[in-house]
Amino acid sequence: MCLRERGQQTCAPLLSAVPYLRSATDEASLRAAIDSLYTLLDGSTDGPLGGTAASWFFEQERPMGEPPRTRYASYIMRSYARLGGPLEGYLNADDRTYTPPPPFFDWLIKEATPT
């Protein structure tokens, strides 16, 4: 199961850098693949992953006192998959985020009247 973006009939895309890096076989080819990824995924909305910049995939935070990390040094790599399925009758997670309460709540939630 997957979630669909509004107006789409197919699953939301997997956001992952792995397909762009999997052909690297050594340090030099991995660095070249990372450089290509940063060029391709510049954060523009017409990019292949819908505006996701390459830097999002690589955790580059650093503890205080350490020198800045480069794009080639990351202790974790992110991916994002939208799993699940919309409830029956809903298109996706953004469909009808607020639905007025049913009449039962009007009866249940009302001002108390003194007896």
Q: What is the mean pLDDT of the chain?
A: 77
pLDDT reported for residue 29? 95
**52 vs 99: which has the higher pLDDT:** 52
pTM for this predicted structure: 0.58
In whole angstroms, what is the distance from residue 42 CA to residue 39 CA?
6
pLDDT reported for residue 33? 93
- Residue 88 pLDDT greater than 90, yes or no: no
Length, in residues, of the chain? 115
Residue range 67-93: mean pLDDT, rounded: 75
Helices (H), 1-115: 18-21, 27-40, 103-108
pLDDT winner (highest mean) among 9-13, 104-108, 109-113 = 9-13
Q: Which two tokens stand for residue 35?
A: 């450089």
Q: Which two tokens stand for residue 85?
A: 């399925």
**44 vs 86: which has the higher pLDDT:** 44
